[in-house]
Every structure is written in structure tokens, then in C-alpha cells.
Amino acid sequence: MSTFTTRDGCEIYYKDWGQGRPVVFCHGWPLDADMWEYQMHFLAEHGLRAIAYDRRGFGRSGQPWTGYDYDTFADDLSELIETLDLKDVVLVGFSMGGGDVARYIGRHGTARIAKAALLSAVTPLFIQTPAHPQGVDKAVFDGIKAGLLADRPQFLDDFSTLFYGTNREGAKVSKGILAQTLQIALLASIKATVDCVTAFSETDFFADLKKFDLPTLVVHGDDDQVVPFEATGRLAAQAIAGAELKVYPGAPHALPFTHKERLNADLLAFIEA
């Protein structure tokens, strides 16, 4: 396997497909790099270099006890980019991974980055606060953590209903996709899975988004039952100067699966523009 070791000794797995301009993918919770297989295959077939990695604690990467915060995640991403000596990079983050992209830019700048895409992302802030009343109530995230600690496999299996929007009339998601999603999710450590709920819900990315000085694409479904569009995607697009916003009508959270053909085309057009 292709891996590198971070400054604090955590081994990070990554996959590196194709040749050309590098596109680096940051995955969502509670998944890993495999969630990007349709995008990676498509972009590599179109002359790009597609790279995705497993966040620490997830997939085939190491499972340390600590380090499940966005400063650490951004530093891990920076080490990947530097290890592979990537330049003119397009960073793509889905859901929790949108926070990786935002904090990387906020913390490390854009010297190696040319463009960024935030897909169904938790930016700029997920949780409800007095200054962000449209966010999600803290009780929801407390319930997620309690559910994981009580019966992680069943909780994650049930979570797919909202993730894919299978509770909506006309939703078409195969049993195979649902099984694959659960299989990927269960590779993660319970420690990482629980700690990341705190990280992705409570981290404030408003200051990071102000440092975006590059072309940025924001894509969100307006029927996202996991990361509500009005509390995240719309505000992220407003916070980033010159950002392009694409709203997918009736789309759920899991755009890389449910709307892969449209998303692939939109990503390629954005990268090549």
C-alpha cells in the first residue's frame, strides 16, 4: 500500500491514480478514500491525477488515540501534499472533508493550491450557536455520539437513510451501495468516529473561508438531511469571495454517489475552466 508517516508517527494511506494535474480528495465521515472511486476513475480517465487518502483513524490509516481535530487534519493533508511534492492542486472536500480543505487553506495558505471545491460541506459552521442560529442543535450531535457508543454498527446502518435520502419518494440506492457504505464505515476506530463528531460539528471555519483567494466551487443538495444547505453551503458560498454555487434540486447529502454523473461533469468543467 502507498503510505506516509506523519510528524507524530501516524501512518496515512493514500491512493494515487492517473497522471496530470493533481486533484486531492478529502473524504466525509465516517467513510474513507474509497467513497471517491467514481470521481477518481472519471477524472483519471480524463487526464488528471486523482489522489485520495484515509483520514487518521479511518480506513487503512493508523488509529492513534489522539489527533482528531482540524488543525491536525490540516497538517496531515499538508504533509501528504508536501510528501508527493504536489503543485497547482485542486482540493475537493466532501462533508467533513470540506473542513479539511478550509482549515488547510486557513492554516497553510494557497501556495500549492489552485482551486477548491466544497461538496455538501460542513463549512462554515455546523452547530447552532447564538451567532449561527440556523445551525443544528447540539443535542443532535450528542445523540449521534451516544448512538455510536451504544451500537455503532446499527447506528451507522440506520444513518444511511438520511445520508442517501432513502426516506424520500423515488430514491434509488442499491443494496450493494448501502452494504459498501457500512463496510467502509466499520473500518474506522470507534474513537475516531466519535471524536470526529465533535470536530465536524463544533469547529468554526468562518475565518478560514476569508482566506480563500482562489476559484472555489460550492455544491450542495437542497434536500440534504444531514448537513442542511441553508446553514452551511449557502453561507459558505457567501463567505468566499467569487465562489461559484451550484445547488442540486431535491438532492440528498451523498452527492458523490447519488448524483455522480452530474457531479463528475461539474468537477471536470470547474477544473478545466
DSSP-derived secondary structure for 124-184: S--B-BTTBTTSB-HHHHHHHHHHHHHHHHHHHHHHHHHHHTTTSTT----HHHHHHHHHH
- Catalytic option among 27, 220, 253, 259: 253
**Helical spans, DSSP H, in the chain:** 37-45, 70-83, 96-108, 138-164, 175-185, 190-202, 206-209, 233-239, 255-258, 260-272
- Catalytic option among 95, 120, 160, 201: 95
Domain membership of residue 253 as a residue range? 3-272
Q: Is 224 a residue of the active site?
A: yes
pLDDT of amino acid 36: 98
**Environment class of residue 166 by beta-carbon count within 10 Å: exposed (0-12), middle (13-18) or buried (19+)?**
middle
pLDDT digits (tens, 9 = 90+) for 124-150: 999 999 999 999 999 999 999 999 999
Q: How distant, in Å, are the alpha carbons of 60, 82, 109 from that of 227? A: 26, 31, 26
- In this structure, how many other beta carbons lie within 10 angstroms of the beta carbon of residue 269? 10
CB-CB contact of 164 with 257 (8 Å):
yes
pLDDT digits (tens, 9 = 90+) for 27-72: 999 999 999 999 999 999 999 999 999 999 999 999 999 999 999 9
Rounded to an integer, the average pLDDT of 17-31 is: 98
CATH classification at residue 213: 3.40.50.1820
Q: Is 27 a residue of the active site?
A: no
pLDDT of amino acid 56: 98
pLDDT digits (tens, 9 = 90+) for 228-246: 999 999 999 999 999 999 9
**Environment class of residue 272 by beta-carbon count within 10 Å: exposed (0-12), middle (13-18) or buried (19+)?**
exposed
Q: Is 41 a residue of the active site?
A: no
Check pLDDT > 90 for residue 255: yes
pLDDT of amino acid 1: 78
Per cent of the chain over pLDDT 70 is 100
pLDDT digits (tens, 9 = 90+) for 79-110: 999 999 999 999 999 999 999 999 999 999 99
For the question of whether the overall pTM of this predicted structure is more than 0.95, the answer is: yes
CB-CB contact of 2 with 13 (8 Å):
yes
Tell me the C-alpha distance between 69 and 72, whole Å: 6
- Catalytic option among 75, 195, 224, 266: 224
Half-sphere exposure of 272 (CA within 13 A, CB side): 10
Number of domains in the chain: 1
